[in-house]
């Protein structure tokens, strides 16, 4: 029960619904056990004694019991479901909040399909046990105890005889639990892997089709599906092995009842009505104990699901909030790195090595280098997406760890290399970081990002609904909407992570012209592969293998003849050769 104890905070606030459900269940169980007593009275006192005057009383009593039982059953089921649904609402809400708070490092290792499986299938399995499983355990206990009490009342020797096989049944149930729980945990894991396979395939459908890898993907899905099937078959094997044994032990009790009960009846130690009532009661006793295997089955599934949910809830928040944050209301945007070293994975190569630079307010810093040189890592440390192993990242003279994450990030605008748009209107996408912005402000931001014209050409303009991940827009259009979104936040620090990589040269020129006005008074970091995108920066940092190997302005770096010069030559030598040929022809 350790898993359920750890998750107690989510269901215990709704305990009153659970206990009211149990109270209703108590009436249901007592009335259920009363049925065999009515049968015993009907046989021994009415039929045997020919006392037919009791028939109306018995009929009315039986109808009354059924009415009470029906009402009690309604409240038991409704309140039980209300308890489970309410608890899981809180649990799912906590899981989603936790996922919002977890660091980028967590998502570097997580699988989207597996996380979706946990928030849907695992949560639902846990809910089902809360709504039904807990109360079923109580129902079994109440039914066994009340049935046993009536059996002892009718005949102590017969009750003890029929109970002789019960310890063996309990041992079988305990062994079943030890076998079935690990099996169900494997099922949940394999289901998560299957979900991940589907999610990745759908997300990468363009790549799959462009490379004609449909058959390959079908094979990979079949492998994951077969793994899931095999784990389910293993569980079915365990169930098939133990359930017949449990049923056999229950039937042994019936055989004892028929043999020993018949002997007692012939000796006059028990009445015929009691024997028949006993036959019903024995199944009230054996049935729940056999059903206990099903409850154990359900418990094992919900426990396995609960453990997977706890893995999320108990994941370490690597980025800790400070208890006494520095006020971030008057941020000017002065960014400084002091001997910063960053490693994404322990014992792996360093992404950044002893990086030091100063970016005063309003200055533009260009970052250039080969893929994997550390450009994006620098900007992710500014927003504290990751923590450096060594050194310090400062914002206005304070370590970024001294600020409230939420308040600090309000002052930092990001335009990512791969823009993400939500399945909502263009207007809502632009206003995502500033939902209180007016329509005039949204349009102004779109115009600055050179997005207004193509937006107005769409069927509903700014109210046009976008497909998943901005489906229906070109890469350049997505980036311009992403730029407009960053502009609308009005940040003190603006990060452009290769923000114009997916637009043509003419559009890039227009965007850069607009951004020059936007960048005034803001500290701007431009990550680019094109020198044309950052040659006007106040300082350009050239990175190689996580180190700053050159720094300076465009002309200065060209004169140095270093790595920057080599990048320039690669990008412009073909262009200059073409221009030279054109001059010769002229």
pLDDT digits (tens, 9 = 90+) for 488-524: 888 889 888 876 665 667 766 766 666 776 777 889 9
Question: What is the rounded CA–CA span in Å between residue 545 and residue 341?
Answer: 12
Give the rounded percent of residues in the chain with a pLDDT score beyond 90: 15
Among 547, 525, 520, 529, which residue's Cα sits nearest to residue 537?
A: 525
Mean pLDDT of the chain: 82
Domains defined for the chain, CATH in brackets: 2-313 (1.20.1560.10), 335-411+491-585 (3.40.50.300), 421-490 (3.40.50.300)
Here the tokens at position 272 are 């015929």
Question: What is the rounded CA–CA span in Å between residue 499 and residue 527?
Answer: 8
Per-residue DSSP letter, 425: B
Is the pLDDT reported for residue 208 higher than 60? yes
Residue 586 pLDDT grade (very low, low, confident, very high; cuts 50, 70, 90): very low
Sheet containing 335-342: order of strands: 352-359, 335-342, 390-395, 398-399
Among 129, 135, 127, which residue's Cα sits nearest to residue 21?
A: 135
Longest dimension (CA), the chain: 128
Cβ atoms 152, 159 nearer than 8 A: yes
Residue 172 pLDDT grade (very low, low, confident, very high; cuts 50, 70, 90): confident
Is the pLDDT reported for residue 579 higher than 60? no
The pLDDT, as a whole number, for residue 293 is 66
Task: Identify the H or E element spanning 25.
Answer: helix 15-41
Higher pLDDT, 280 or 355: 355
Cβ atoms 17, 79 nearer than 8 A: yes
Question: What is the rounded CA–CA span in Å between residue 234 and residue 239?
Answer: 9
pTM: 0.71
The tens digit of pLDDT for each residue in 430-466 reads 998 888 889 999 999 888 888 898 899 888 899 988 8
The tens digit of pLDDT for each residue in 376-429 reads 889 889 988 888 989 999 999 899 988 888 888 888 888 877 778 888 888 998
Here the tokens at position 315 are 């994941």
Is the pLDDT reported for residue 582 higher than 60? no
| For the ranges 151-155, 212-216, 344-348, the one whose mean pLDDT is highest | 151-155
Q: Taking residues 201-211, what's their average pLDDT?
A: 66
Here the tokens at position 191 are 């289901």
Cβ atoms 161, 327 nearer than 8 A: no
Task: Identify the H or E element spanning 8.
Answer: helix 8-11
The pLDDT, as a whole number, for residue 51 is 78
Cα dihedral 411, 415, 419, 425, rounded to 10, equals 60
Here the tokens at position 524 are 């701007």
The pLDDT, as a whole number, for residue 219 is 83
Question: What is the rounded CA–CA span in Å between residue 492 and residue 522?
Answer: 5
Q: Give how far Cα 385 sits from Cα of 280, 408, 549, Å.
A: 65, 12, 24
């Amino acid at each position: 029960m350790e898993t359920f104890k750890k998750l107690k905070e989510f269901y215990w606030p709704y305990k009153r619904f659970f206990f009211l459900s149990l109270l209703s269940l108590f009436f249901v169980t007592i009335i259920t056990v009363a049925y065999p007593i009515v049968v015993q009275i009907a046989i021994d006192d009415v039929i045997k004694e020919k006392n037919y005057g009791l028939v109306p009383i018995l009929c009315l009593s039986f109808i009354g019991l059924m009415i009470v039982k029906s009402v009690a059953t309604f409240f038991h089921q409704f309140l039980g479901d209300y308890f489970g649904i309410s608890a899981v609402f809180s649990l799912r809400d906590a899981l989603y909040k936790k996922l919002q708070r977890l660091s980028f490092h967590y998502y570097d290792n997580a699988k989207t399909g597996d996380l979706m499986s946990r928030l849907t299938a695992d949560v639902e399995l846990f809910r089902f046990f809360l709504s039904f499983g807990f109360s079923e355990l109580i129902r079994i206990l109440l039914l066994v105890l009340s049935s046993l009490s009536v059996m002892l009342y009718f005949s102590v020797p017969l009750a003890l005889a029929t109970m002789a096989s019960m310890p063996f049944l309990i041992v079988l149930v305990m062994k079943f639990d030890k076998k079935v729980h690990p099996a169900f945990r494997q099922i949940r894991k394999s289901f998560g892997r299957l979900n991940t396979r589907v999610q990745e395939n759908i997300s990468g459908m363009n790549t799959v089709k462009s490379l004609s890898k449909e058959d390959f993907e079908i094979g990979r899905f079949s492998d994951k599906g077969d793994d899931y099937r095999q784990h389910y078959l293993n569980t079915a094997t365990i169930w098939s092995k133990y359930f017949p044994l449990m049923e056999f032990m229950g039937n042994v009790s019936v055989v004892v009842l028929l043999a020993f009960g018949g002997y007692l009846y012939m000796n006059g130690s028990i009445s015929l009505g009691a024997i028949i009532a006993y036959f019903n009661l024995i199944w009230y006793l054996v049935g729940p104990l056999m059903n206990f295997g099903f409850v154990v089955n359900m418990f094992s599934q919900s426990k396995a699901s609960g453990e997977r949910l706890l893995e999320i809830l108990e994941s370490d928040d690597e980025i800790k909030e400070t208890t006494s944050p520095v006020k971030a209301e008057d941020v000017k945007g002065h960014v400084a790195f002091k001997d910063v070293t960053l490693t994404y994975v322990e014992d792996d190569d360093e992404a950044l090595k002893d990086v030091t630079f100063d970016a005063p307010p309003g200055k533009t810093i260009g970052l250039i280098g080969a893929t994997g040189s550390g450009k994006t890592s620098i900007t992710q440390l500014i927003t504290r997406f990751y923590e450096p192993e060594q050194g310090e990242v400062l914002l206005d003279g304070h370590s970024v760890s001294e600020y409230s994450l939420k308040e600090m990030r309000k002052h930092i605008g990001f335009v990512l290399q791969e823009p993400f748009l939500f399945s909502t209107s263009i207007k809502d996408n632009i206003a995502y970081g500033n939902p209180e912005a007016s329509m005039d402000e949204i349009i102004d931001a779109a115009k600055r990002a050179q997005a207004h014209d193509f937006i107005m050409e769409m069927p509903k303009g700014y109210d046009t609904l976008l497909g998943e991940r901005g489906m229906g827009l070109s890469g350049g259009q997505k980036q311009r909407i992403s730029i407009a979104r960053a502009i609308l936040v009005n940040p003190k620090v603006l990060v452009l992570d290769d923000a114009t990589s997916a637009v043509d040269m003419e559009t890039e020129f227009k965007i850069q012209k607009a951004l020059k006005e936007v960048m005034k008074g803001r500290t701007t970091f431009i990550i680019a592969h094109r020198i044309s995108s950052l040659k006007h920066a106040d300082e350009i940092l050239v990175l190689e293998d996580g180190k700053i190997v050159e720094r300076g302005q465009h002309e200065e770096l060209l004169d140095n003849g270093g790595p920057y010069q080599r990048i320039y030559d690669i990008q412009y030598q073909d262009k200059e050769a073409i221009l030279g040929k054109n001059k010769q022809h002229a």
